Structure 1
Amino acid sequence: MALNDEQLERYSRHIILKDIGIEGQEKILSGKVLIIGAGGLGAPVGMYLAAAGVGTIGIVDGDVVDITNLQRQIIHFTPDINKLKVVSAKEKMQLINPE
C-alpha cells in the first residue's frame, strides 16, 4: 500500500520517527481496533486512533450521550445529547480523519 501525497503530509510527524517511518504508518493504516465503550476513556482513545490513521475502528457502546457526560467525554458535544454514543463518536472521528 503506497501512501498518497495527502497521507504523506497528514502523517509526516509519524513518518519522520525512525521507529515508525513509512512502513510503520502503512501498518497503522491497515490496522484494526475495537473500542469497548465511547465514554471517559474510549472517547479520547477513538480520537487519537482516528488522528493516527488506524484503518478500521469499531466502537461498542449501547449508551446515549447525556448532559452529565460532557465534562469528561471529550468526543461528545451538547448537540449530541440523546444520540447514541457510537454515532456521536463516529461523526467526530470522521471529522478528525475522513479516511
Structure 2
Amino acid sequence: MELTINKIVEGNKVTLNLKGMLDITTANVIDPFLDEVNDIDTLIIDFSNLEFIDSTGIGAIMNAIFLSNEKNFKLKLQGEDELTKEVLETVGLYDILTAMQGEVE
C-alpha cells in the first residue's frame, strides 16, 4: 500500500490530507511536503483517509511538530479514528503537541 497526500492551500493555511498507510515504507513521502512549508500560520494534517500508522509514521508527525516550533506555525491534527487517537495518546504525541503549542485541536 502506498501513501498519497493531497495538499490544499488556503491563504496562510495548508492542509495535508493523508490517504493510505503512513509506515516505514511511506513515511518519507511526507518529507517534501514539510520541506515546502514556509510562511504559513497553520498546518493541518488530516488523518480521515489514513488506514494505518506505525512508529515510523508517528516519527514523521513528530518531525512536523518540531518543524512547527522551528518555523513558528500552528500544527493541528484532525480526522483521527479511535485507533489512531489511542496510538497517538499512548506514545504521548498529543502531550508533546500540547507542551509545544499550548493546545490540541
TM-score range, shorter chain: 0.3 to 0.5
TM-score with structure 1 setting the length: 0.36
- Specify which structure has the higher proportion of helix: 1
Greater C-alpha radius of gyration: 1
- Specify which structure has the higher proportion of strand: 2
